[in-house]
Structure 1
Amino acid sequence: MTASTTRRTACADAARSGMSLGRAKSRLVAVGALAVAGALLVTGCGDQTKDKDKSAGGGTSAAGAPLADKLPKEIRDKGVIKVGSDIAYAPVEFKDKDGNTAGIDPDLAAALGSVLGVKFEFENGTFDTLLTGLRSKRYDIAMSAMTDTKDRQDGVDADTGKKVGEGVDFVDYFSAGVSIYTPKGKTQGIRTWTDLCGKKVTVERGTVSDDLAKAQAKKCPAGKKLTIEAFDNDQQAQTRLRSGGADAGSSDFPVAAYAVKTSGGGKDFEMVGEQVQAAPYGIAVAKSNTQLRDALKAALDRLIKDGTYSKIISRWGVKAGAIEQATINGGK
């Protein structure tokens, strides 16, 4: 689904743990107030790791695709890029009413596939396992509102500060921040992370929201403990808050805005305070796969230049998070 300490710290991050590195999905950027939510189009949710949606992120044949020759031969021959994604993070990626993978990431993947002459095949997984899946070569890339952070780039566990893996490279394609929301009409004066002391907050495990909550919990004074309930996906966290089991929830701004707009017809939640931790979303690629990384960057730059990228971002009402050019490892 940004970067603090880390960010859906995928997962994250991510999440979504085979190891904590997968944390920090954020899964953050000033994506432009609730007007964003008003333009968001669809809703849904995904399940766990076994769901493969072969229809998502379609491409074309290599013939006629302008950047097909930039891909590694192995991928070109297969005609498929396998994508690890936590498909329960509307509007970035989710299941629509027909069970198809939809959202910002699948739409961008389909456009990238048209330029590269391959199909992007999404596989559903919990956020904090996506980078593990990438390292084991289950996926070619991870694309899941994953915040590009230095810890993820370097393979460092955000909780311990220890090196736990090779790390990954990111092709950055969007910018977003983290938000807090509460039951509608029951804000209890919550506007900042400090205000959560003495309260209970729901988050998706391994995300930047999870990281921020843990960091805040360490700062809360005695007698005002911050209780954190972390779930496998954001849908579960929202359900817990909706049922009255917590005082607030937190997710990346586009996701929080979408939940506020759509849950209960807009009657369940309200946004409080300002976004924090603005940071880029990145497509994660193995450090060893520089040719694939560079091909994705070239394809994204082409989509930005020809206007396709802008049309997709605008269609989902999140134009304030758009970037002007693709960047490799732009996260701090």
Structure 2
Amino acid sequence: MLLTACGDQTQKGASDQETKGTAVTSAPLADRLPQAIRDKGVIKVGSDIAYAPVEFKDKDGKTVGIDPDLAEAMSKQLGVTFQFENGTFDTLITGLRAKRYDIAMSAMTDTKDRQQGIDSETKKKVGEGVDFVDYFNAGVSIYTKKGADKGIKAWADLCGKKLVVQRGTVSEDLAKAESKKCTDGKKPAIAIEAFDTDQQAQTRLRSGGADAGSSDFPVAAYTVKTSGGGKDFQIVGGQVEAAPYGIAVAKSNTQLRDAIKAAMDAVIANGEYKKVLDKWGVAQGAVTEAKINGGS
């Protein structure tokens, strides 16, 4: 997902904190962490906990999903707790920059713009940028109400249609780029409506307030499978813009970045990574090793 790293820094649900995992005293990679984090015993994780199946609240209010499960596995390697703190997606990097979080782990696509602190729309520098530890690959999908695709089979079919997306995401940037193609070709623009959360966008589409929605493939697939017992939505067309999800770390915190990479590599090697992806039905996005700043 694409984060512009600008705008309002107020985070909804910032008090909504939940600890995942338990500290492990015999963790093999504990000495890789910065001493300050070892002393605290906690890695604070900024996350938009409304993006099933990557991270979301279950019916009991517990934070669950792909990222929390991978964090739990990494906690065994590092000997610290990963504490997920809820924030709107488009404020996570600003929160990381302000040191409210140690890392951001939230289905965030690793891009050169984010690495360099560049606003993806204006192409102006808005901050220092971040480093990423890449751990998963995902493309972007379009979905519509079931049985009502309105002729939408691909991005080019969205000209003159209304599309709902989550603010600050790759989907929003793709929609803006596609809308320009529409107008350059003398076709009507795409009417883009952006929301704070993907769930809000889904609700808008479900109510008939839009023609289509777009989100990362794992999220779109999960939404199609679960919303209304599978009766609400359908995916149209194939994935586009496949790119790595990355765990964002401040550029000044290279020791933490390298410790996270080592922990993710260990989780991949010991098979826990595969178990997590299989559990959530996203094995097609698996990687064989974690990479630093592998996005383009």
For residues 147-176 of structure 1, the C-alpha deviation after alignment (integer angstroms, 9 at most, x for no partner) is 000000011111111111110000001000
Alignment partner of 1:9 is 2:2: yes
Alignment-derived partner of residue 182 in structure 2: 220
Which ranges of structure 2 fall in alignment gaps of 5 or more residues? none
Alignment-derived partner of residue 230 in structure 1: 194
% identical aligned pairs: 70
Alignment partner of 1:205 is 2:195: no
TM-score, structure 1 as length reference: 0.86
What secondary structure is seen at the aligned counterpart in 2 of 1:324?
coil
Deviation at 1:48, TM superposition (A): 2.8
Give the alignment of 1:128-277 within 5 angstroms: 128-221=90-183, 222=186, 224-277=188-241
Q: Runs of 4+ in structure 1 displaced over 3 angstroms? A: none
CA separation in 1, counterparts of 2:149 and 2:220? 15
Counterpart pick for 1:48 among 12, 18, 22: 12
Alignment-derived partner of residue 48 in structure 2: 86
Partners of 2:6 and 2:126 within 8 A in 1: no
CA separation in 2, counterparts of 1:78 and 1:194? 50
Deviation at 1:223, TM superposition (A): 5.3
Give the alignment of 1:2-41 within 5 angstroms: 8-10=1-3, 17-18=7-8
TM-score, structure 2 as length reference: 0.96
Superposed CA RMSD in Å reads: 1.4
Which ranges of structure 1 fall in alignment gaps of 5 or more residues? 1-7, 20-46
What secondary structure is seen at the aligned counterpart in 2 of 1:98?
coil
Alignment-derived partner of residue 250 in structure 2: 286
Alignment-derived partner of residue 60 in structure 1: 23
Partners of 1:91 and 1:258 within 8 A in 2: yes
Deviates more, 1:214-223 or 1:64-73: 214-223
For residues 8-37 of structure 1, the C-alpha deviation after alignment (integer angstroms, 9 at most, x for no partner) is 322xx5x79249xxxxxxxxxxxxxxxxxx
Give the alignment of 1:116-127 within 5 angstroms: 116-127=78-89
Counterpart pick for 2:269 among 280, 289, 305: 305
Deviation at 1:188, TM superposition (A): 1.2
Partners of 1:168 and 1:284 within 8 A in 2: yes
Alignment-derived partner of residue 95 in structure 1: 57
For residues 86-144 of structure 1, the C-alpha deviation after alignment (integer angstroms, 9 at most, x for no partner) is 00000000000000100000000111111100000000000000000000000000000
